[in-house]
């Protein structure tokens, strides 16, 4: 298996496992930061009110400081998740281009591998085709990489097998 293909398979696993969680974390941190900023704004407005006790103002000022610090910490985490999400989505977009260009060709080549040689592959193709209407881009990319892997294995295995039979 080529190193590039191994890297793509590893990245597909990582994206498949972590992208949904990463999207949730990005959304969560964005919302919590916005909510805390609104709270700071509300406390800040109350600081100039003559109807708020000085002790309440002092407590709220301390709360503003705590909230600003919390936002800074959450902003770092948010930016980290956002970078990861962007990286995963960029990789998916790049793979989508490759899949759009080569999927049919790879699928045709995979279908030519006999059922007796690789029943798992042929069953996988049938299952994928039966779910064609619900498969996501990520599903298609992962399946494309699976097909390429099975084709590489077939080519490598059949060469070794033919060499052993000829001996």
Task: Give the model confidence (pLDDT) of 21-63 as tens digits.
Answer: 999 999 999 999 999 999 999 999 999 999 999 999 999 999 9
Task: Give the model confidence (pLDDT) of 103-120 as tens digits.
Answer: 999 999 999 999 988 999
CA distances from 140 to 4, 155, 162 (A): 18, 22, 32
Amino acid 161: pLDDT: 59
CB-based contact 124:145 (threshold 8 Å) = no
Amino acid 167: pLDDT: 45
User: What average pLDDT does the segment 135-154 reach?
Assistant: 91
What's the CA gap between 103 and 105, in Å, rounded?
Answer: 5
Q: Over 60: is that where the pLDDT of 163 sits?
A: no
Angle at 28 between CA 24 and CA 30, to 5 degrees: 120
What are the contacts of 114-123 at 24+ separation with CB within 8 A? Answer: 117/154, 117/158, 118/150, 118/154, 120/150, 121/147, 121/150
Cα torsion angle, 160, 116, 136, 14, sign = negative
Task: Give the model confidence (pLDDT) of 56-98 as tens digits.
Answer: 999 999 999 999 999 999 999 999 999 999 999 999 999 999 9
Ranking 18-22, 135-139, 141-145 by mean pLDDT, the lowest is 135-139
What's the CA gap between 90 and 97, in Å, rounded?
Answer: 11
Q: Over 90: is that where the pLDDT of 122 sits?
A: yes
3-state secondary structure of 82: helix
Amino acid 4: pLDDT: 83
What pTM was computed for the model?
0.74
Q: Over 60: is that where the pLDDT of 162 sits?
A: no
């Amino acid at each position: 298996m080529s190193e590039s293909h191994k890297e793509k398979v590893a990245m597909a696993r990582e994206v498949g496992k972590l992208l949904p969680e990463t999207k949730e974390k990005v959304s969560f941190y964005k919302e919590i930061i916005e909510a805390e900023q609104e709270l700071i704004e509300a406390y800040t407005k109350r600081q100039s009110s003559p109807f708020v006790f000085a002790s309440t103002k002092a407590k709220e000022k301390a709360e503003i400081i705590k909230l600003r610090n919390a936002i800074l910490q959450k902003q770092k985490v948010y930016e980290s998740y956002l970078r990861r999400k962007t990286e995963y989505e960029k990789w998916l977009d790049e793979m989508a281009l490759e899949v759009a260009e080569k999927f049919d060709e790879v699928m045709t080549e995979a279908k030519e591998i006999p059922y007796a040689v690789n029943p798992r592959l042929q069953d996988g193709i049938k299952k994928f085709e039966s779910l064609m209407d619900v498969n996501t881009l990520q599903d298609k990319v992962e399946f494309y990489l699976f097909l390429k892997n099975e084709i590489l294995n077939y080519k490598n295995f059949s060469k070794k097998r033919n060499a052993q039979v000829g001996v």
